[in-house]
Amino acid sequence: MNKFFGYIFSPIHYLLFGFFVCLFHPIQWVCYNWGGQETHKKSVDLLNFFLVSTYYLLGSSISFKNPYKLPEQRPIVFISNHQSLYDIPPLIWFLRKYHAKFISKIELTKGIPSVSFNLKYGGGANIDRKDSKQAVAEIIKLAERMKANNWSTVIFPEGTRSKDGKLKPFAIGGVATILKKAPNALIVPIVIRNSWKLVQYGSFPLSFGERMSWEVLEPMEPQGKSMEEIMNYAQESIKKAL
């Protein structure tokens, strides 16, 4: 039945999703050029609120839990598993007060309404996976912005999306680079559940009626701990929560 209703409601979802990303592209331009980065951020937050709302057209339920009082005046590294592109709008919306940035492929900075503009001017890191020096330099710049502005970043250390929801091994590189430049950053794991089911049949049809959740897990102070200890803690926390 999930697949059957997916054929019916996926076109509606895509039409509305596409409408919002096209609508907010000029809105972002105006906000960035006339109001600066802070005004631009508000437009991006609002865009992602509307993008998340389109999930409900697929009969999806969305849950976000954060039982911890996280600092707003301190950099945070959110370490999360990654199951689909649908992971990202809820993270932007629900983590908006922490100014969450992302590390993205540089190819995404061209040709996608709203998304490409935000990646270019939103303050994240756009990396060329074929050029390791450029990638490291971009992540260092992101870490410096995090430290200067008390921003946070979301890192998917699996390196690629999990198509079946099973956790892949975590890579250390991105987190290690950030902590070298922003050593006071707090480590906060996030577990994402069931967003992979939304795309289990591919991009069409999307699966109808899936229950998806995003949950903040217990933070960790990185001072005095090795990168292996930090990443092992994040990975085991997420694995247990899954």
Q: Beta 186-193 vs 211-216: how paired, if at all? A: antiparallel
- pLDDT given at position 172: 85
List for the chain the helix, strand, coil content (%; round to 5).
Answer: 50, 15, 30
For the four alpha carbons of 56, 48, 207 and 239, in that order, the dihedral sign comes to negative
Q: Provide the pLDDT for residue 132.
A: 85
Omega cis (within 30) before 67: no
Whole-angstrom distance, CA of residue 128 vs CA of residue 132: 7
pLDDT at 224 over 90: no
Q: Which residue has tokens 């694995």?
A: 239
Q: CA distances (Å), 52 to each of 84, 85, 183, 236, in order?
A: 14, 12, 33, 28
Mean pLDDT of 80-84: 95
Helix, strand, or coil (residue 176) = helix
Q: What domains are defined for the chain? A: 2-241 (3.40.1130)
pLDDT one-digit tens code per residue, 111-138? 999 999 999 999 899 988 888 899 999 9
What is the pTM (predicted TM-score) of this model? 0.93
Q: How many Cβ atoms are within 10 Å of 33's Cβ, its own excluded?
A: 11
Pairing of strands 152-155, 186-193: unpaired
Q: Which distant-in-sequence residues (6+ apart) come within 8 Å of 224 by Cβ?
A: none
pLDDT, tens digit, for every residue of 34-67?
999 999 999 999 999 999 999 999 999 999 999 9
Token pair listed for 75: 């950099």
